[in-house]
């Protein structure tokens, strides 16, 4: 492992930041949900579930605790910290007038991170669509939202470029093709006659936003690196039956590589083009030029990895009523793998396989920006400790896989930033499913407590993963 390897952790604004009604912040999609149970019922996709809190107003309150949190990250030895900027903290309505208080807040955060020796890795859009853009343009369905995002991205590059050298565009955007209605305010089902044209319009608009942001970043901050972020969906064939192998190949191509082929080559795959034309959707010459511009091509690939799945000829359909977005595409569980208490398979070797596949295919550096064990097993003892050996075990094996991919397979990996390094809310609003090295007591002024995994990870970073046991 190189000495420059970026050990750290990862969060998002709507799940971690809080301060929803402070500092001039505007209303996002998630703020609307927080304010109205009816809005939650009308707007949340089925995968969000019905038994969650759905109030993102305060979450882990990073807005008021950022100095303490950065100190804790520094104590662990973090080299990097992935976070997102809340679009509505910069542009309260998504476009129009910029909010100087929002600019000042993030400049303070980024400045302190840099002073602490921690590189910010910043996601521009992590699902928190401005409600005003939904009301006026149906979110990503409207090209006007793309133009608003371009304005917002340029503002971020100019305001924060002196601090931020690692950027991500849109979080897990390969999922948009599966759930295009999310954050648009439009109710569409696969039975609607215009569903396919709707799906491709939304997906294509997000891709315009991505390529435009990449090009603008390269123009404004030439020494920065900017990448994508995709939700990995690694599948194995359930058996050696060639039909199972074909299903796994098609699964991986559709959910992983179609998207990455586009972002690295600047054009849709021939199959994607055919399917779009079948739906009546065509790509303009102007958009094609944007996509193929060398300045629009990403510098690295980042991704989330939590589990793998299996495919087989008798597999279940993708579950649109799954408990989390990542589970929507689950086909079959691998009978060879153990599961976490949350029900996700534990497959560190799959991470090594995926890293190799990505690097062999695209020859771009990779960065793991989400990985980790989310469970409801954490208990804060009377002496304010959390004994999370199960998390240490999970992370140890996955870090071993990363180390093997780097040291033995020679994959160029920039860093490892596990998800929810300080406890945060799940995308579904569930605060009891915890990932962090640091426990947040939501019932007692959001006090922070170091878990056992905090000290373990501290030593991992200190020894650059030479001491994992």
Residues acting as catalytic residues:
172, 370
Beta-carbon contacts of residue 390 (< 8 Å; ≥ 6 apart): 340, 341, 373, 375, 377
Q: How far apart are CA 305 and CA 298, in angstroms?
A: 20
Q: How far apart are CA 167 and CA 182, in angstroms?
A: 23
Q: How far apart are CA 88 and CA 20, in angstroms?
A: 9
Inter-helix orientation angle 258-265/348-362, to 10°: 40
Backbone angles phi, psi at 448, to 5 degrees: -105, 140
β-strand 413-416 against 119-125: which pairing, if any?
A: unpaired
Backbone angles phi, psi at 108, to 5 degrees: -65, -45
Residue 438 C-beta-side C-alpha neighbours within 13 Å: 27
8 A C-beta contact, residue 159 and residue 221: no
8 A C-beta contact, residue 167 and residue 226: yes
Q: How far apart are CA 103 and CA 155, in angstroms?
A: 9
Which residue from 207, 204, 110, 223 is spatially nearest to 156, judged by alpha carbons?
110
């Amino acid at each position: 492992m190189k000495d420059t390897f970026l050990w750290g952790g990862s969060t998002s604004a709507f799940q971690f930041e809080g301060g929803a009604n402070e500092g001039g912040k505007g209303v996002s999609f998630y703020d609307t949900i927080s304010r109205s149970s009816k809005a939650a019922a009308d707007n949340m996709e089925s995968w969000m579930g019905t038994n969650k809190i759905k109030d993102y107003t305060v979450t882990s309150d990073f807005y008021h605790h950022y100095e303490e949190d950065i100190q804790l990250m520094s104590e662990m030895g973090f080299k990097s910290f992935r976070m997102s900027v809340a679009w509505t903290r910069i542009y309260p309505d998504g476009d129009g007038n910029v909010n100087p208080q929002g600019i000042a807040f993030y400049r303070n955060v980024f400045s302190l991170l840099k002073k602490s020796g921690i590189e910010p890795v910043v996601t521009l859009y992590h699902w928190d669509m401005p409600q005003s853009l939904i009301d006026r343009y149906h979110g990503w369905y409207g090209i006007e939202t793309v133009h608003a995002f371009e304005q917002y991205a340029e503002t971020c590059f100019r305001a924060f470029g002196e601090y931020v050298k690692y950027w991500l565009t849109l979080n897990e955007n390969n999922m948009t093709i599966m759930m295009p209605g999310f954050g648009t305010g439009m109710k569409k089902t696969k039975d609607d006659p215009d569903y396919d044209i709707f799906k491709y319009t939304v997906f294509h608009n997000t891709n315009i936003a991505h390529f435009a942001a990449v090009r603008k970043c390269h123009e404004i901050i030439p020494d920065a690196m900017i990448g994508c972020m995709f939700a990995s969906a690694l599948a194995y064939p359930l058996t050696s039956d060639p039909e199972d192998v074909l299903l796994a190949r098609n699964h991986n191509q559709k959910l992983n590589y179609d998207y990455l082929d586009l972002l690295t080559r600047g054009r849709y795959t021939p199959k994607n083009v055919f399917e779009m034309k079948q739906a009546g959707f065509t790509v303009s010459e102007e958009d094609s030029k944007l996509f193929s511009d060398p300045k629009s091509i990403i510098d690295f690939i980042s991704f989330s990895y939590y589990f793998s799945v299996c495919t087989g000829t008798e597999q279940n359909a993708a579950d649109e009523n799954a408990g989390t977005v990542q589970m929507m595409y689950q086909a079959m569980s691998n009978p060879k793998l153990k599961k976490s208490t949350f029900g996700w398979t534990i497959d560190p070797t799959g991470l090594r396989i995926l890293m190799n596949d990505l690097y062999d295919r695209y020859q771009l550096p990779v960065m793991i920006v989400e990985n980790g064990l989310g469970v409801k097993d954490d208990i804060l003892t009377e002496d304010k400790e959390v004994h999370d050996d199960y998390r240490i075990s999970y992370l140890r094996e996955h870090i071993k896989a990363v180390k093997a991919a780097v040291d033995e397979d020679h994959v160029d990996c920039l860093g490892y930033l596990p998800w929810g390094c300080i406890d945060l809310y799940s995308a579904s609003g569930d605060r009891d499913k915890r990932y962090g090295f640091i426990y947040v007591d939501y019932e007692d002024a959001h006090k922070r407590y170091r878990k056992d995994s905090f000290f373990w990870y501290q030593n991992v970073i200190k020894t650059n993963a030479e001491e994992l046991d």
